[in-house]
Amino acid sequence: MLRDRRALIVTFADKAGVRDYVAERIGERYLPASYGIVDDPRDLLKLDLPDRYVVKPTHGSGAAIVVSPTALADVELPPAEWSWVYRHVRPEHAPRQQLVDIAIHWMSQLYGQGPNREWAYGLVPRRVIVEEMLEGANGAIPDDFKLFVFHGRCQYIQVDSGRFDDRTQDFYLPGWEHLPMSGGRAWIDPPRSRPARLDEMISLAERLASDTDFVRVDLYHLPDRIVFGELTSYPAGGESPFEPQSFNAEFGNHWTVPRRYR
């Protein structure tokens, strides 16, 4: 955030633009299907959408509307002015005009310009993307695998479960040894087994991260495939302390910050 002003970091931050980078590096088959990328939120009215999809802004993090019949019956869309959140709703609770209003509010926001100064988001074109909803076992929201890659090598894997329910968070080494640390959430219970496609996920993450000194690569391990999520240069805006605190230094030990970025 302080010194790296490469165009590559802007590409990583752009949820639409990064798709071309991913397709070139690992292939289109790892991308979620795109139902539309619009510059004008009103164009959402023209899209032919299934009963399951995800709507999100391309120029920020922490906002997405997931629409599917598996959402809780009493969950509704937030008011547009409070819509920079994750929300999972049923199709009958997602009228298209309300989604347009939310998208208009998203596009009025300049993300990442607070105390952390996540400068890259300010250069991302403000658009709205609609993608397929990914489903894990039994149609549930899939676990989110976040692979921390330093200098082309995956060193840690964070797994978040239950985004819209009882959230858990666990950290592992690449060999799937569970780490005795916390990022603020409880560990999953009972412990999860080693993912069948773990080696493939690590290989994909390292290929996507090969051009930079650090990036977190987010992937989804579905029953039949691996799907790309996002590339994050600034996890939690650089402010996500670990417990015990010794892991703050442990993570940093793998990173040799370039004296000068080119």
pLDDT digits (tens, 9 = 90+) for 121-160: 999 999 999 999 999 877 778 999 999 999 999 999 999 9
What tokens appear for 261 in the block?
A: 């970025």
Q: According to the model, what pLDDT value does residue 58 have?
A: 98
Quick one: pLDDT band at residue 38, thresholds 50, 70, 90?
very high
Q: How far apart are the first and last CA of the chain?
A: 14
> What angle, 0 to 180 degrees and rounded to 10, lies between the N-to-C axes of helices 198-208 and 18-26?
120
Residue 89's identity, in one-letter code, is: V
CA 36 to CA 247: how far, in whole Å? 41
Q: Do 14 and 124 form a contact (C-beta atoms < 8 A)?
A: yes
User: For the whole prediction, is pTM greater than 0.75?
Assistant: yes
Tell me how far CA of residue 107 lies from CA of 68, 94, 100, 253, in angstroms.
Answer: 24, 19, 11, 38
- Predicted confidence (pLDDT) per residue in 42-99, tens digit: 999 999 999 999 999 999 999 999 999 999 999 999 999 999 999 999 999 999 999 9
Q: CA–CA separation, 201 vs 145, rounded Å? A: 9
Q: Which amino acid is at 55?
A: V
Region 4-16: mean pLDDT is: 96
Report the distance separating Cα 126 and Cα 110, nearest Å.
9
Q: What confidence tens digit (pLDDT) does each residue in 151-182 have?
A: 999 999 999 998 777 889 999 999 999 999 99
Beta-strand ranges (E) seen in the chain are: 34-38, 53-57, 64-67, 86-89, 128-132, 144-150, 153-161, 168-172, 214-221, 226-232
Calpha distance 20→113 (Å, rounded): 26
Nearest Cα neighbor of 208 from 31, 90, 4, 16 is 31
**Bridge partners for 186 per DSSP:** 168
Confidence of residue 115 (pLDDT cuts 50, 70, 90): low
Write out 51-110 in H/E/C secondary structure.
CCEEEEECCCCCCEEEECCCCCCCCCCCCHHHCCCEEEECHHHCCHHHHHHHHHHHHCCC
pLDDT of residue 261: 87
Looking up tokens 């992937």 gives: 219
Residue ranges of domains in the chain, CATH in brackets: 1-25+139-262 (3.30.470.20), 33-133 (no CATH)
